Amino acid sequence: GTQEFNRVRIGVGRPTNNEPVVKYVLNRAAGDEKALLEDAIKKTAQSIEAWITKPFLEVMNVYNR
């Protein structure tokens, strides 16, 4: 519950039906979502590598779109 450290998160959206959010988040990605998830993981890794040498806010402004 603190904002005292920086976080890197990957958004997964929300269910479009009445499925509970927890179940939706913990389910395996559907076939068409796998490529999107793989791309998100790749971009997350790139952002973490950039964060090693650049300020967090600068990196966040590049990768948060």
Per-residue pLDDT of the chain in tens (65 residues, 90 and over written 9): 788 999 888 888 888 888 999 998 898 888 888 898 899 999 999 999 999 999 999 999 999 87
| Whole-number Å distance between alpha carbons of 7 and 9 | 6
Residue 59: count of CB within 10 angstroms of its CB? 20
What pLDDT, on the 0 to 100 scale, is given for residue 20? Answer: 93
- Tokens 């990768």: give the residue: 63
Q: Report residue 3 as tokens.
A: 């904002």
| Reported pTM | 0.73
| Whole-number Å distance between alpha carbons of 56 and 13 | 24
